[in-house]
Amino acid sequence: MRVISGNAKGRTLKAVPGMSTRPTTDKVKEAIFSMIGPYFDGGQVLDLFAGTGGLGIEALSRGISKAVFIDVEKKSVDTVHANLQSTGYKDQAEVYRNDAARALKVLAKREQKFDLVFLDPPYKMKVIAELITTMEELGLLSSDVFIVAEHDAGDILPEAIGELEQQRRSEYGETAVTIYTRIS
């Protein structure tokens, strides 16, 4: 695993020890950023179910100003810290060990707004639509937000969730990526 493009291009990222995470492949990561960017002029990203932090770090490398990483697993949080250190983005990031739903409530209390959200829960958890609804209700999403959901290719997500609609869905083997944006 590595950073594909931007300021930290080529930097190697550590994997989370064990078999509990499924890192986004370079091919899927490149496809995601070609659909939503590929580069940014500031903004804030939320990497929920961060794992290695690879997606949020890629966004920082491509111009996002600030990232918030959330994961419930200590090994993942430690890996995100190590990867932020090795890529030089520690000062632009906050990392929290917390359950996703609880973390969203904390972020709402802090009046956070995100321009980009990565949702990559374990495939057995069918919580993407519910989490998007919660983020919308809590006011965590900017007016021009992109939400990138990575999920099992067999799962079909709703065409619209609140004021967000599916912009694109692509499959890469057993993985699917669904992108939502706000209905204009």
Closest CA to 148 of 1, 135, 65: 135
pLDDT digits (tens, 9 = 90+) for 19-78: 667 778 888 999 999 999 899 999 999 999 999 999 999 999 999 999 999 999 999 999
Strand partners for 165: 160, 181
The strand pair at 44-48 and 164-172 is best described as: unpaired
Please state, for a pLDDT cut of 70, what percent of the chain lies above it.
98
Q: With 0-12 CB in 10 A as exposed, 13-18 as middle and 19+ as buried, what is 96?
A: middle
Rounded Cα–Cα distance for residues 117 and 67 (Å)? 10
In the prediction, which pLDDT does 105 show? 97
Question: Looking at the domain covering 26-182, what would its CATH class be?
Answer: alpha beta
Stretch 124-147: mean pLDDT: 96
Closest CA to 81 of 97, 101, 66, 65: 97
Q: What letter would DSSP give residue 137?
A: H
In the prediction, which pLDDT does 102 show? 96
Query: Where along the chain do its domains lie?
Result: 26-182
| Phi and psi torsions of 63, nearest 5° | 115, -5
Q: Under a CB-based contact definition with an 8 Å cutoff, are residues 132 and 180 in contact?
A: yes
Buried b (16+ CB within 10 A) or exposed e, 147-173: bbbbbeeeeebeeebbebebeebeeee
- The model's confidence at residue 7, banded by pLDDT at 50, 70 and 90, is very high
The predicted model scores a pTM of: 0.95
As given in the structure block, the two tokens for residue 42 are 């500031």
In the prediction, which pLDDT does 101 show? 95
| Average pLDDT of the chain to the nearest whole number | 94
